[in-house]
């Protein structure tokens, strides 16, 4: 075995753990984007639950208004982020190659 190839094999073995995927980065763990999406879905579900409770008389009007305001803010935020992503994508498409 050549000394250079032995050295290369040792360096590869030393740097391999740095490139290994993180244990929580797979399908089981949520990243930052996954956590935001889960929070968004929870906000929508909470607003829907409060609206249903208000229709059956189980919630007061103040909690309904608060839940609807939170839902509206979450949707406006999601739409704004989506628009920014689309704008960035279109800007990338306009770049000369």
**What's the pLDDT at 13?**
75
Strand segments (E) across the chain:
none
Task: Tell me the pLDDT band of 74, cut-offs 50, 70 and 90.
Answer: very high
What is the per-residue pLDDT across 8-40, written as a single tens digit (0 to 9) for each?
777 777 777 766 666 665 555 568 888 888 999
pLDDT grade for 92, boundaries at 50, 70 and 90: very high
Residue 39 gets the label, from left (phi > 0), alpha (psi -120 to 50) or beta, of alpha
Q: What CA–CA distances, in Å, run from 59 to 52, 66, 77?
A: 9, 11, 26
């Amino acid at each position: 075995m050549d000394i250079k190839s032995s050295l290369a094999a040792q360096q590869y073995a030393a740097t391999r753990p740095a490139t290994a995927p993180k244990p929580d980065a797979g399908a089981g763990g949520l990243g930052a984007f996954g956590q935001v999406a889960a929070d968004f879905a929870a906000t929508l579900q909470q607003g829907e639950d409060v609206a249903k409770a208000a229709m059956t008389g189980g919630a007061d009007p103040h909690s309904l208004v608060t839940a609807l305001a939170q839902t509206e803010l979450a949707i406006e935020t999601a739409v704004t982020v989506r628009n920014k992503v689309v704008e960035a994508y279109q800007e990338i498409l306009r770049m000369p190659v």
